[in-house]
Amino acid sequence: MTVTVAAQVEQGVPGATRDILSGGLFAMATHVRPDDQVCLTAHALLVWIGEHRHVARGELREVYISDPRQTAPDQLVTHVMVRIEESR
């Protein structure tokens, strides 16, 4: 499995490559609970995409909004995103 991490950094990171994330139209769901349950939100988002006759394009993205060092596990906020094509 390939994992891509996007982060703002002051300097280059040894061994890392630079790339630009693709833009476009995204379906998004907000996950508020422990990160080990984010797969439930991802599944619900993919079901929603199918029910609304969208076509998923690209990888699933997780955007971590809360800092786990300062936020209780049951209050962590993560945006789950999938790039989509509009329904036909």
Taking only the tens place, the pLDDT of each residue in 37-85 is 999 999 999 999 999 999 999 889 999 999 989 999 999 999 999 999 8
- pTM of the entire predicted model: 0.80
pLDDT beyond 70 at 1:
no
Mean pLDDT of 19-26: 86
Is position 40 within any domain? yes
Q: Which domain holds residue 45?
A: 26-72
Is position 77 within any domain? no
CB 28 within 8 A of CB 68: no
According to the model, what pLDDT value does residue 8 have?
75
Is position 54 within any domain? yes
Look at the chain and report how many structural domains it folds into: 1
